[in-house]
Structure 1
């Protein structure tokens, strides 16, 4: 019998995050700090709008690109938050989460042999999506001493004549790193000089704790070479609604829409109606959630200092990325042993790229009570490891 499987698909490794979730689900009294999902319920006014749309029988397909009203609200939101103007008719489309937008953007833009620059550590989907789109991933290793920001020098060193696309994953999952305006201005000059394009994943834009988020699309000459990705999962606690969007030059969006049309048809109608309420009336909800995340963030930074655990201070998303290099263990060994001995699940840094070795991703999308309990267990665990090391 012939092999029914694609060699390219078989060679792609599954997500390094999921196996820890599977283990913790079977473990009694375990605490998981691994999931990148808000612990808040979707705000009621958003849920009510979804419920109302069902009661009114709005269960039909929308246009492929999404509801007109939603695209108009997205255009208003991007202008208000990022100072970038998009034509809702030609430059905005609604997708099944930000992940679909990443996938179809790469498929619409890449030809075989085109290189995609992917700063790591970063979200697990970028590299596989580049491969699935026949692109060639080129990894840029971000460094802790630079607070895991992408520098002009690192970008220039990675560019070749085959480079077509740069993934810009900020605020960053898993590190919590952000890029400030001056950082973006420096790399924007390199991007324009070498005539490459940017896929800017800004799903955590609302979760920025030091100053305002800046979109690279807002810089001179960058809108026309940027695909801006965002969505509703993180900022509005709408992960299960599966709704994202892409803003891009019309010539790129037209081809993205073609793929979306054949593979998906349209994003969920109920979710689209709910998202209209999120954009129109959700600013206060976002602010409250952001304030609580920030409280948790400050708590973790403080506790790590008390423990003597090395960690730079993150200013975005809801993750923190402490170093465990002092213990002489791989990230996976540390995470497995911590889960087994203390019943706390964290994610090895290597799940987000090889340069994540020596780090852990800890999500603070959990209650402060859960975080306090988990950090007590972590303190006990690392004290035991230091004692072991001391005694040889």
Structure 2
């Protein structure tokens, strides 16, 4: 076990000026601890790694690596799909990168410690790495569009891709201090940067976005919208960026009023999701109830907004889960919603299950 071996070998990393064990107590097997205690220990271990200014080479040597091309928005996945027709991420050991032009200790970013107690990293392609085709052959995988992968991976793995892409893009683009213009120095594992001039510490940014499924009072209808840029037949939930000074509740109330001219009188929180494309976003999803049902589109962003029955919504969900996007788009008359992997898809399914047992 990775963390256990770190403890047994007394590996430590430097945090500030003191040397601190990655996990303060050792144990012979994770089976001896309840899952919640193991979780706490793992999270604290991850935090120590993120804050480290020096890390033992063992962290890298025993780690697992996910390869992304952040300039072309591609991620490396296993060649074969699962029985559910899902992609799976291709994790490779450190030894695979010693002769492929990668500089893991300089370019990789730390992601997490997995259930097998292995450190996981994301590493980008560079001009010195091997070509796509060569890496696909060497690693027995293939590069797929990153945006597509968010819908064709499991929810857990799509979160990993989203995290990886956002951290690697931040590391590549954010190089100068917004306060004084000084050069930023990268922390070892990519969790923060420090200004070499004013010593200010900077962390990856994330932008909050409210997303909402609007329903009428008896939940007999759901309001879905589409933008002009959407593929034919695609409708989704209302969404918009949180403005300065707004809470999520205020953001959603404003967005619904702006876009479809309806006043929200009840709001229920559903859940949240990190989304990396086109930038690092935190999607916060809710279900909003309105009294009035007369829609008045009030912005150029929307092409259409319609009320749909539960059966229509269910048909749209089943269509997108049972057919490929290519097949769906071949018939522009058919309604469909965002695929699995998107929080809009999940909040729609939740509404169907909770209020209509569908």
- Given the two structures, how large is their TM-score scaled by the length of structure 2? 0.23
Higher RCO (CA 8 Å, separation ≥ 6 residues) = 1
Larger radius of gyration: 2
Higher helix share: 1
- Given the two structures, how large is their TM-score scaled by the length of structure 1? 0.22
Higher strand share: 2
